[in-house]
Amino acid sequence: MITGLGVDIVEIDRMKAALERRPKLKERLFSAEEREYCDKRSRPEVHYALRFAAKEAVLKALGTGFSGMRFCDVEVIREASGRPVPRLSGRAAERAEQLGIIEMHLSLSFTHTTAVASAVAITEGARPRKDERPDPKAELAASFKEARAMLDEIGAGSELDADVESDAGAGEQATGEPADG
């Protein structure tokens, strides 16, 4: 089940200006792996803005925002396929465990001026359990049982009709006249 949803938007120029004014800010906000990834891009400020928005979105999905969390408690890494995924540590990981979060989906996008990220936190309840899936053999057996019960009802109805007809015929024989009068 979806436990949390977070969305955040960051102005790219604002992120660029902040990083230029305070060079140490990169080290405070981003892991070495994140910095290496962003610095290799043609427009690093876009990727820093995306990662910052992602961190905020993830923490919103956890229901905390940055309250009591460190910026590096959420790290945005990329799978081999290129898909961005959050790596949680510290208090963010503790909070996710408390909530029973087993998976966190992350989506990143940007325009010329803004970076946007959305995060969805998912718990075990969202996953179908194997024992909850219907057993095809049991479903088939139940269908046959139901069909057999219907056929038995139809057969019992035919026997009842035959009894009524034989009773009516017996009435004619006893009086010699039709049962209707």
**CATH code, domain carrying 106:** 3.90.470.20
99 and 150, same domain (yes or no): no
Give the C-alpha separation, 29 to 141, whole Å: 60
Same domain, 7 and 44: yes
Domain membership of residue 148 (yes or no) is: yes
Residue 30 domain-assigned? yes
Q: Would residue 69 count as lying in a domain?
A: yes
Residue 181 lies in a domain: no
* Closest among 71, 75, 97 to 86, alpha carbons compared: 75
Q: Residue 131's pLDDT is what?
A: 58
Q: How much is the pLDDT for 134?
A: 66
Tell whether 151 and 122 lie within a shared domain. Answer: no
End-to-end, the C-alpha distance of the chain in Å comes to 73
The predicted pLDDT at position 74 comes to 95
pLDDT attached to residue 153: 76
The DSSP output letter for 73 is: G
pLDDT at res. 138: 76
Closest alpha carbon to 120 in 84, 94, 89: 84
**Does residue 158 fall inside a structural domain?**
yes
Predicted local distance difference test score (pLDDT) of residue 169: 55
**125 three-class SS:** helix
Q: What is the pLDDT of residue 161?
A: 57
pLDDT of residue 109: 97
Instruction: Count up the domains in the chain and report the number.
Output: 2
Query: Is 47 domain-assigned?
Result: yes
- What global pTM score does this model have? 0.68
pLDDT score at 132: 59
Note the pLDDT of residue 158. 58
Same domain, yes or no, for 110 and 147?
Answer: no
Same domain, residue pair 41 and 91 = yes
What residues make up the domain containing 61?
A: 2-126
Query: Within the chain, where are the H helices?
Result: 12-21, 25-29, 32-39, 44-61, 90-99, 136-175
Amino acid at 126: A
Burial readout 48-60 (b: 16 or more C-beta within 10 A, e: otherwise): bbbbbbbbbbbbb
**Shared-domain flag, residues 66 and 154:** no
Model pLDDT, residue 55 = 95
DSSP H/E element including 5: strand 2-11
Among 54, 118, 63, 124, which residue's Cα sits nearest to residue 94? 63
Structure tokens at 175: 């009086």
Q: Are residues 93 and 156 in the same domain?
A: no
Whether 146 is covered by a domain: the verdict is: yes
Mark the ranges of the chain whose per-residue pLDDT is less than 50: 172-175
Q: Which of 109, 6, 114 is nearest to 56 (CA)?
A: 6
